Chain A
Amino acid sequence: DARVTQTPRHKVTEMGQEVTMRCQPILGHNTVFWYRQTMMQGLELLAYFRNRAPLDDSGMPKDRFSAEMPDATLATLKIQPSEPRDSAVYFCASGLAPTGVNTGELFFGEGSRLTVL
């Protein structure tokens, strides 16, 4: 059945290392969102794309985070260098946006749990 796939599911790394998280949106979906969930901040929007073009990445710390969509089947979120405060669960969601600005219904992957020591 159609689902959003995220890898890795769990990642433990040391401070200063590069981390790359990947997301495969549901086939045919044209909108991808990245969220970060922590106990303190809840679900924060980091960045989102429509038709592979970034629409807004104002939620991301620009100095260390980057998000891209190399093609329609892959979205990536990279942290370089990682810091302990980046420890969180990172969710990817995809949707099929109709015409106009409405994003439509979002479907979430199972998340990537990142621990930075």
Chain B
Amino acid sequence: GIQVEQSPPDLILQEGANSTLRCNFSDSVNNLQWFHQNPWGQLINLFYIPSGTKQNGRLSATTVATERYSLLYISSSQTTDSGVYFCAVGGLGASKIIFGSGTRLSIRP
């Protein structure tokens, strides 16, 4: 089945810094989502982005499906951005959605 790798596993930044999180996948996808798991454990939808680029405020994401990766950009980080960021993918011809192991982001005031 499809494999998903996220990097870096951990990231510690000062408030105001920018960051880039990466998601690599091993096969073609028809589904790719980014989630933020906040400190209370809730999984929050960030982007549904099997291809192309989207932006939502300080967050943006780009998926280059032909090269099998997606990037999540966070600009001007705030302490509320802390948590774990997950990439989840569904392969072509498959309905299942598989999660990467996540990037734990800590924003220091």
The binding surface of chain B is classed by DSSP as: strand
Contact check, B95 vs A50: say whether CB atoms are below 8 A apart.
yes
Contact check, B95 vs A105: say whether CB atoms are below 8 A apart.
no
Q: Which residues of A contact B19 (CB under 8 A)?
A: none
Contact check, B101 vs A48: say whether CB atoms are below 8 A apart.
no
Q: Taking the complex as formed, is A15 at the interface, i.e. its CB lies under 8 A from any CB of chain B?
A: no
A55–B33 CA distance with the chains assembled, in angstroms: 21
Contact check, B41 vs A35: say whether CB atoms are below 8 A apart.
no
Stretch at the interface among A16-24, A69-77, A79-87, A96-104: A96-104
Q: Which residues of B contact A48 (CB under 8 A)?
A: 95-97
Contact check, A101 vs B88: say whether CB atoms are below 8 A apart.
no
Q: Which residues of A contact B31 (CB under 8 A)?
A: 102-104
Contact check, B97 vs A101: say whether CB atoms are below 8 A apart.
no
A111–B30 CA distance with the chains assembled, in angstroms: 26
Q: Taking the complex as formed, is A43 at the interface, i.e. its CB lies under 8 A from any CB of chain B?
A: yes
* A107 and B99 in contact, given A102-B31, A102-B90 (Cβ under 8 angstroms): no
